[in-house]
Amino acid sequence: MRPIFTMHAGEYLFGSYLEKKFRGFNLWIPSRDTGIDLLVTDSKNRKAVSLQVKFSKDFLPTETEETFQKGWKSLGWWALKRDKIKQSLADFWVFVMFNFGQNTTEFVIIPPKILLKKITQLHGSNKIIQSYLSVTTKNKCWETRGISKKERILIANHSYHNKRRDFTEYLNNLDLIKKKLK
């Protein structure tokens, strides 16, 4: 059966968020899949920003240690196809993480070229890349696939430092989109 409505949860969550934050901008949903999930335009529809949106349910650590429960806000998991990122026409990829326990949503907004560069540095040049983006209660964002338990504890305690794994500058950064629309 072919669905009539193809908007997924991540597109809805991010689209709703944009409409609240971007008064005076217009939000568009394509009628077919072109690799662009959402289009944002200025009020006169002269400038546009295209978005590829990826959603993940919450994969917060299940360790019973109190450190993990207090230090982490959300964790998302994606299987990313290298060719899709490389050939993407979107201005930004948006990774949406919804925390069901706290009813909060986090967004990583990143240009596809930077995304490809960062994940290649971390995970090599596989055709499919497994990626975990994790957000702490202090609003830091890390790519955490393949890190040790010791590193997870450092992240939870807000004392982890690793520039290659740091995605914080892309966390909830709507200024990246606004800048392209002005």
Q: Give pLDDT tens digits for 118-146.
A: 999 999 999 999 999 999 999 999 999 99
Indicate the residue type of 30.
P
| Of 58, 28, 53, 59, the residue nearest 41 (C-alpha) | 28
Closest CA to 139 of 100, 182, 173: 173
Per-residue pLDDT reduced to its tens digit, 167-176: 999 999 999 9
* pLDDT of res. 1: 44
Which amino acid is residue 110, in one-letter code?
A: I
Strand ranges inside the chain, DSSP E: 26-28, 38-41, 48-56, 72-81, 92-99, 104-110, 128-136, 141-143
The tokens for 33 are 């899949």
CA distance 116 to 158: 26
Report yes or no: 131 and 119 within 8 Å, Cβ to Cβ.
yes
Nearest to 16 by CA among 105, 103, 89, 116: 105
Q: Output the average pLDDT for the chain.
A: 90
User: Considering the entire predicted model, what is its pTM?
Assistant: 0.92
72-88 pLDDT, tens digit each: 888 999 999 999 999 99
pLDDT tens-digit series, residues 53-71: 999 988 776 655 666 667 8
* pLDDT above 60: residue 181: yes
Q: How many helices (H) and strands (E) does the chain have?
A: 6, 8
pLDDT the model gives residue 177: 95
Quick check: 114 pLDDT over 80?
yes
Distances (CA, A) of 10 to 37, 171, 182: 10, 15, 25
Q: Are strands 38-41 and 92-99 parallel, antiparallel or unpaired?
A: unpaired
